Chain A
Amino acid sequence: MTTLAIRGGRVIDPAKSVDTIADLLIADGHIAEVGPYAGKDASETINASGLVVCPGFVDIHAHLREPGLEHKETIASGTRAAARGGFTTVCAMPNTEPPIDSAGMIEFVLRTAQTQGAVRVLPIACITRGRVGKELADLAELAQVGAVAFTDDGAPVADAHLMRSALEYAGMLGVPVIDHCEDAVLSAGGVMHEGWVSTRLGLRGNPAAAEETIVARDIALAEATGSHVHIAHVSTAGSVSIIRQAKSRAVRVTAEVTPHHLTLTHEAIIDAGEAPGGLAYDTNAKVNPPLRTQFDAEACAEGLRDGTIDCIATDHAPHAIQDKLCEFDTAAFGISGLETALGLALTALSLQEAVRALTIGPVRALGLDARIEGLGTLSAGAPGDVVLVEPEAEWTVEPETFASKGKNTPLAGRTLHGGVAATIYDGRIVFDGR
């Protein structure tokens, strides 16, 4: 039996409120023991002194693009990017081509991940057949083969009646419904946040209210059905406050925020230093929901601290170069986010807050611990998924070095603090950056 000991690190396990110097032993792909002298006789030992040792990060919102869009990302490249970012579990979004709306498609994702993936992939299935918002997909069958949630992310369910049915049906199955909250009529044509930057650049704005009206609708439907709705990528102060009120009434709502909505604003689109004419029109900062104001970013961080928002999710959205090297209006939405998530999280949050938001936070938000015991923790018997973090490390974002095929990030050249020293998945080192 191979055993791996990680010795002398500062172990942070938010699920058990642990923050102490300790050794950790992984045996046979599972956490065997955490304690002062764990793993003295392990077959392999990592000296983690000076490093933080925490449960492998869990991303519940990543676009791995396979099948159909392999020029943007594959399950192989996306899971390598995940490992490089400290993630050992990623939930794959179903907006592929064709979309993940049948048992066969779920099985394809699981099989491909099994043979080619660097880390664990948990598939999310569509709410509606073909992701077109007309009729429900075969939700029970999808749940049975392993869908951990349902979403039409990117093409939000406009029909409130259908959304209500989805919540009722998914509630019977005990599977959460994730909604990308956007009133597509109100946001029509919008390519960035509606505000002073959109006015300055002459670009069509997507107003905060387009998100908030649907957050309010979904909460009303969750309250009416008693089912669990999870709000994807919250981006506005108004959404945070609506969710906060709902949670105070014990509505079954959870929410996530992306690292970029916590730390960047719409000003990223206009800024570029040396750009001719002084206006950048930076397509790498074009994302949906759009980067909003400082006021919104701070409200999201506050929401994460007070528990209104449950976790960070990357909304990793890799694209090919030509998808971004074009007019701002025609550029694809999305940021390649797996490899900068920790650095950005540590920009907005303390180390303990960031680790919680990347581990037990997302696991509990989607109820993943009911499927995989101990996921997101370092409890004995939990998966042998561990990340070693160097919290003070200073590094420069160089997209060309990304493991992801998507080099699309507005952070190129930016200095971030907090690096991943190594990622261990299933008891094996899958990324070593030491």
Chain B
Amino acid sequence: MTQEKLGPPTAPAVAEPPRAWTRSHLLDVDDFAPAELEVVMQTTDAMKEVLGRDVPRVPALRGKTIVTLFYEASTRTRASFELAGKALGADVINISAGGSSVEKGESLIDTVRTLQAVGADVLVMRHWAAGAPYLVARHLQAAVINAGDGAHAHPTQALLDLYTIRNHLGDVRGRRVVIVGDIEHSRVARSNIWSLLAMGAEVIVCGPPTLLPAGLRSQKASRPTVEENGREAMALPPVQVETNLERALEGAEVVMTLRLQKERMQGGLLPSLREYATLYQLNEERMSRAQTGALVMHPGPMNEGIEISPGLASSLQSVIEEQVTNGVAVRMAVLYLIARGTKQ
């Protein structure tokens, strides 16, 4: 047993954040350049190496305090960030909206002021309201990492999905990626669209019109949707929209299916789970239209038998478990890149 075997005691696998990284917050990946995504991918490789060691820890963020502030329950994302922070030697404090002052009607801004006083270096936050981390980033000196805001963004999920895809396919340029399901309410889909497009993939979103975002679905409406100044074209991602899953899957190399929330039926957006499964369930038969060996992905937690067939979920094509494993490495990379920039 030697020091070498545990890895260098102080140096992380990557010595200094590469120059392409200048961000102090991770709010979304919508404005990421390919070079920045490359930095995250390479740093994740290094973190995966760390996680493969006998003692999967480096003290890269020793002395840093990471606070996770979750206004929505999420065991897996929070656990993933906590593991990532501890693997880098940081102190991790968890605050949930239940069981703390947050519950007693304290405003988000007051909570932020408290965190400022506590001396958090990095705030990892999940919130049910789109844009909440943007508000916090404006008022908190610490770095903010968005762990999911309403139906808006979930950047670390998009980064781990990109990492998983690249592990299997290499370069994603020109690859056909299909995202199936409740796009309207999915922050996972929205963030994935941006990072995949930035890396040159062809992105198709597929679902019933009632589950497609208004800005993407109203193409047939008589009301003009393109603004006079042409900003809409710049601001909305250039994805293809397809309501027929069979057609969408033709030639796909990656298929990502999304969790269907049962509330969508009460909301009048869908007739029944049975009809949804008939039209949009990803199964072995439908996957035969995709390219042989196409990857099957799901951000979890799955409703097996609804958006995905049990057989396909556990098939060789499925990389769903790998997504979870890569989640910790990607979050280590993000925490490392972001926290290194915060003041000592």
Which A residues contact B (CB, under 8 angstroms)? 194-205, 207-208, 237-238, 265, 267, 270, 275-281, 293-295, 322, 325-330
Tell which of A196, A327, A328 touches B227, judged by Cβ atoms closer than 8 Å.
Answer: A196
Separation of A328 and B213 alpha carbons in the complex (Å): 19
Whether B31 contacts A277 by the Cβ 8 Å rule is yes
The B267-309 residues at the A interface (CB cut-off 8 A) are none
A65 shortest CB reach to chain B, Å: 21
B5 at the interface (CB under 8 A from A): no
- Residues of chain B within 8 A (CB-CB) of A322 are 107, 109
Whether A202 contacts B231 by the Cβ 8 Å rule is no
Instruction: List 27 A-B residue pairs with CB atoms under 8 Å apart, sorted by A's residue number.
Output: A194-B214, A196-B225, A198-B214, A199-B236, A200-B236, A201-B130, A201-B131, A203-B130, A203-B152, A265-B227, A276-B25, A276-B134, A276-B137, A276-B138, A277-B31, A281-B135, A295-B227, A295-B228, A322-B107, A322-B109, A327-B127, A327-B132, A327-B135, A328-B129, A328-B130, A329-B129, A330-B129
B312 at the interface (CB under 8 A from A): no
- Residues of chain B within 8 A (CB-CB) of A207 are 214
Whether A326 contacts B130 by the Cβ 8 Å rule is no
Whether A328 contacts B131 by the Cβ 8 Å rule is yes
Which B residues contact A (CB, under 8 angstroms)? 25, 27-28, 30-31, 107-109, 127-135, 137-138, 144, 149-153, 187, 190, 213-216, 223-225, 227-229, 231-232, 235-236
- Residues of chain B within 8 A (CB-CB) of A198 are 214-215
Given contacts A196-B215, A197-B235, A199-B216, contact A275 B129 (CB under 8 A): no
Q: Please, which residue of chain A has its CB at the minimum distance from the CB of B139?
A: A325
Separation of A330 and B129 alpha carbons in the complex (Å): 8
Whether B131 contacts A281 by the Cβ 8 Å rule is yes
- Residues of chain A within 8 A (CB-CB) of B235 are 196-197, 200, 270
- Residues of chain B within 8 A (CB-CB) of A203 are 130-131, 150-152
Tell which of B108, B151, B216, B227 touches A294, judged by Cβ atoms closer than 8 Å.
Answer: B227
Tell which of B31, B214, B227 touches A293, judged by Cβ atoms closer than 8 Å.
Answer: B227
- Residues of chain A within 8 A (CB-CB) of B138 are 275-276
B104 shortest CB reach to chain A, Å: 16
Given contacts A195-B225, A295-B224, contact A327 B129 (CB under 8 A): yes
Whether A277 contacts B223 by the Cβ 8 Å rule is no
- Residues of chain A within 8 A (CB-CB) of B131 are 201-203, 279, 281, 327-328
Whether B215 contacts A277 by the Cβ 8 Å rule is no
- Residues of chain B within 8 A (CB-CB) of A275 are 134, 138
**Highest count of chain B CB atoms <10 Å: which of A197, A200, A208, A294:** A200
Separation of A295 and B129 alpha carbons in the complex (Å): 29
- Residues of chain A within 8 A (CB-CB) of B137 are 276-277
Q: Given contacts A202-B187, A277-B134, list 13 more A-B pairs with CB under 8 A.
A: A195-B215, A197-B235, A199-B216, A201-B131, A202-B150, A277-B137, A278-B30, A279-B28, A281-B130, A294-B229, A326-B109, A328-B129, A328-B131
- Residues of chain A within 8 A (CB-CB) of B236 are 196, 199-200
- Residues of chain A within 8 A (CB-CB) of B153 are 202
Separation of A196 and B238 alpha carbons in the complex (Å): 12
